Amino acid sequence: MGGFAEGGAAMTPDMFIHIGVNEALFLLALGFFGGMLSGFIGSGGAFVLTPGMMSIGVQGPIAVASNMCHKFPKAMIGAWRRKKVGHLDVKLATLMAISAIFGVQVGIQVQKYILEQLGPTGTNLYVSIAFLIVLPSVSALLLRDVIKSKRYGIEDTKPEFAEKLEKKFRLPPMIRFDVAGRTQSLWLTIPTGFATGFLAATIAVGGFIGVPSMIYVIGATSAVASGTELGIAFVMGSTGTFTWTYLLGAVDFRLTTLILATSLIGVQIGAVGTTYVRQYYIKLAMAVVMLLVTVSRACAVPGYLSELGWVSLDEGLVNTLNSLVFPIMIIAMVSVTPIVLVPMMNVRKELNKMGLLEKAVAKAEHETAGLVKRLIIFGILTGVNYYLLFRDPNAWPYFVTSIPHAGPLMSIALTIGVIGLAIYWSIIHGSFAHNFLDLVNITALKDEVAKRIATEGFDGIKTWAATVKTSTVESETT
Residue 3 has pLDDT above 50, yes or no: no
pLDDT averaged over every residue in the chain: 83
Model confidence band, residue 168 (pLDDT cutoffs 50, 70, 90): confident
Percent of the chain with pLDDT over 90: 17
Residue 44 has pLDDT above 60, yes or no: no
Residue 470 has pLDDT above 50, yes or no: yes
With a CB cutoff of 8 Å and minimum separation 6, the contacts of 451 are 460
Residue 231 has pLDDT above 90, yes or no: no
Among residues 467, 377, 364, which one has the least CA distance to residue 429? 377
Q: What is the pLDDT of residues 285-318, one digit of tens each?
A: 878 888 888 998 899 999 999 999 999 989 899 9
Measure Cα distances from 184 to 97, 170, 192, 214 in Å: 16, 7, 13, 11
pLDDT (average), residues 211-225 = 82
Q: Tell me, what's the pLDDT at 42?
A: 58
Percent of the chain with pLDDT over 70: 91
Q: Tell me, what's the pLDDT at 416?
A: 94
Residue 145 has pLDDT above 90, yes or no: no
**Span between the terminal Cα atoms of the chain, in Å:** 88
Model confidence band, residue 215 (pLDDT cutoffs 50, 70, 90): confident
Q: What is the pLDDT of residues 120-140, one digit of tens each?
A: 788 889 888 888 988 888 888
pLDDT (average), residues 100-104 = 85
Cα distance between residue 141 and residue 241, in whole Å: 31
Residue 5 has pLDDT above 70, yes or no: no
Residue 1 has pLDDT above 60, yes or no: no
13/236: higher pLDDT: 13
Dihedral over alpha carbons 48, 101, 413, 74 (to 10 degrees): 40
Q: Tell me, what's the pLDDT at 7?
A: 37
Cα distance between residue 222 and residue 216, in whole Å: 10
Q: Tell me, what's the pLDDT at 4?
A: 31
Among residues 90, 70, 78, which one has the least CA distance to residue 41? 78
Residue 8 has pLDDT above 60, yes or no: no
Domain spans of the chain, in order of start: 13-445
Q: Tell me, what's the pLDDT at 11?
A: 84
Model confidence band, residue 28 (pLDDT cutoffs 50, 70, 90): very high
432, HSE (Cβ side, Cα atoms, 13 Å): 20
44/341: higher pLDDT: 341
